[in-house]
Structure 1
Amino acid sequence: MPERIAIFGGAGNMGRRTEAEARKQGHQIQIVDPRAEIQVDPEEAIAWATVLYFSLFAKDLIPVLDQYGRSIRLDQIVLENTSTKNPIINTLKGLDEMGISVCSVHPFAKHDQPPGGQKVVILPIGTNFNKAQIFAQEFYGNMGMIIIRHSIEDHDALMVPEQLPWHTANRAHLLTFIRLGYRFSQLWNLAPANTELGLASTARTGIQNPTISATIIFNYLKTAEGQAWKATYPRSLEEIFKAAEKGEETLAALLAQTNEYLKEDGMDQQMNEATTIILESNANLRLHSLTVHSLDNKPGVLAAIATIFAENGINLNAVGNRPPDGGVDIRFGIDKGTDEASINQAVIALRELGFEVIERHKEK
């Protein structure tokens, strides 16, 4: 059933993504955000909406709910998507005590990343959460996201090992590169396979809004788990440096603990397979690729394009797709032995079918 959704913070990155996904599902939208082109009065938006979705940092959400919380009706649904929950638990429970159906969510997907196959944590609030939880499950389920359920009280403690180390270490790596005068492009161009994965993870964090990392680091360090990590991580680094001073054999003996750790539950094999797939696909796409844009994102598009390649004797070794705003971009890795005449014929055939070849890349 289509809802009327007022998105507070809808002009931000995640707010815009939420708006786009909601419109795809047929919901009506109003954006409440001082950055928006069209200004909507918050009180009027609340009166109009059936669902209130807050896409705000915790420090901004609390004053907004303090100011407008009393205007929220008992028949409305409230969702919010902050990445840290401890600062807002009492505020959300206050809405629940008023009889409002509230559910907190934490989507594990960057705003410009297709949500399908990504994870979202759904965290019910209080005792009136049922209606909000059902809507949240349908909303994110329709995006193809993997739904994980947890209690909001446990959220920040669970997220400490999932997010705190990477936001802290990746930002520290970048600061160290800056201090030592390394250009990131030079590091990337030279990177061996393992380093390529590490640099990609580092950059993935670094290109995000720094407030996201600051919020995660600042709030998670307030937890007991965050304090334990803060005390233990420097000790682990110091262990490595001290072992290195004693010699390679001593250092290798210490690092062997990490190999044994990854063998638990067969994670060493699983991670080796997962990272090899990523590296092999990226390498093939980097060597020789063709990116095709389709106005339609529907069953049969990939098959139609692949048929053209097959008819022209082109062997594909990698495929990656990315839905932009409208349609879909599909990048195909092409076998290095493919002759240019076959590719040119395929490009002509693709254009005749209404597809657009938007990028053609070959490593020199």
Structure 2
Amino acid sequence: MTIDSVRGAPATAATAEPEPVRLLTPEGERVDHPDYPLELTADDVRALYRDLVITRRIDLEAVALTRQGELGLWASLLGQEAAQIGSGRACTEHDMVFPTYREHGVAWCRDVNPLNLLGLFRGVNHGGWDPAEHGFHLYTVVIGSQTLHATGYAMGIQRDGVLGSPSAGAAIAYFGDGATSQGDVNEAFVFASVFNAPIVFFCQNNQWAISEPLEKQSRIPLYKRAQGYGFPGVRVDGNDVFACLAVTRKALEAARTGQGPMLIEAYTYRMGAHTTTDDPTRYRMKAEEESWKLKDPIERVKAYLTRGDLADAAFFDGVEADAKDVAAELRKGCLAMPDPEPLSMFEHVYAERHPLMTEEQEKFAAYLASFEEEVAS
């Protein structure tokens, strides 16, 4: 036995990366998979393409607004559109989504107004949408904590006794590769497995946990971690919207019928910075980014539509025009957002008014009033 000189652990032979589930090649060629059949009409594919383009345009507009000082921060999804649109469109009205702070594409699929997303990053609201109405929980900034929330919600579905019925739903929790190192995620895996909860864990493996590469987070493919907890896992091409749709749809259907949890590892790449405060040029090579550009999720769907004569130039121009209009409305709405009243920070903290919160609010109100007194004098 040899010893790994870096980690001090038994050395293991290098293993080839597993082939992910793929239904659309980077060149736009449709392929089949025996476990994940998918029937899509031309209208379905065109709708997915439109989702992808508009989602990317929303993201780029938000980045620009941040650079211009209109948002305090933004977490870009650039490069991860297929993973989000594919999985988001697999959800039904009965499912509940638990996002991180980057699931702008899933939010689009759940009919959340993009302006509400900007309000959170502009600091004028706590999210601005009703999770129950959209089946889409508020963004979670604490890494991995939403997986526990989602597991608890799934256990609640189980106890409602609706699994297997037409009204049955499931929970789906989104997180990144870095979050798999968090205790909360592993605890969620334990509870979900032991209680056979109706939940899908959707890991967007974008290769980087801020500046930490994947190889420093795990010595095995992330989807294989599910085996240790006693439930299935699968790796899907995260830049293939068809595959992400098919795999997530099957996993959610299994969860809704009482077959328990599943881990999906969407193998993709974060083309932009972790957030707008990050500079990825400090820790990764340009050549790596260029290689992933060849796997662009939008271009492969465009190639499929083009080679199959399923869309013409007028269609593509129309989608670009729609995306431009969405971005223009987004910018207009963002700039028109009023600053919140300072005392509004005390609202929506507790379901019922808490005595300590009331005391703090009164003290802060008096503090604000003191400035008015100084001006008057």
TM-score, with length taken from structure 2: 0.29
User: Which is bigger in relative contact order (C-alpha 8 A, separation at least 6)?
Assistant: 2
When Rg is computed on C-alpha atoms for both structures, the one with the higher figure is: 1
TM-score, with length taken from structure 1: 0.30
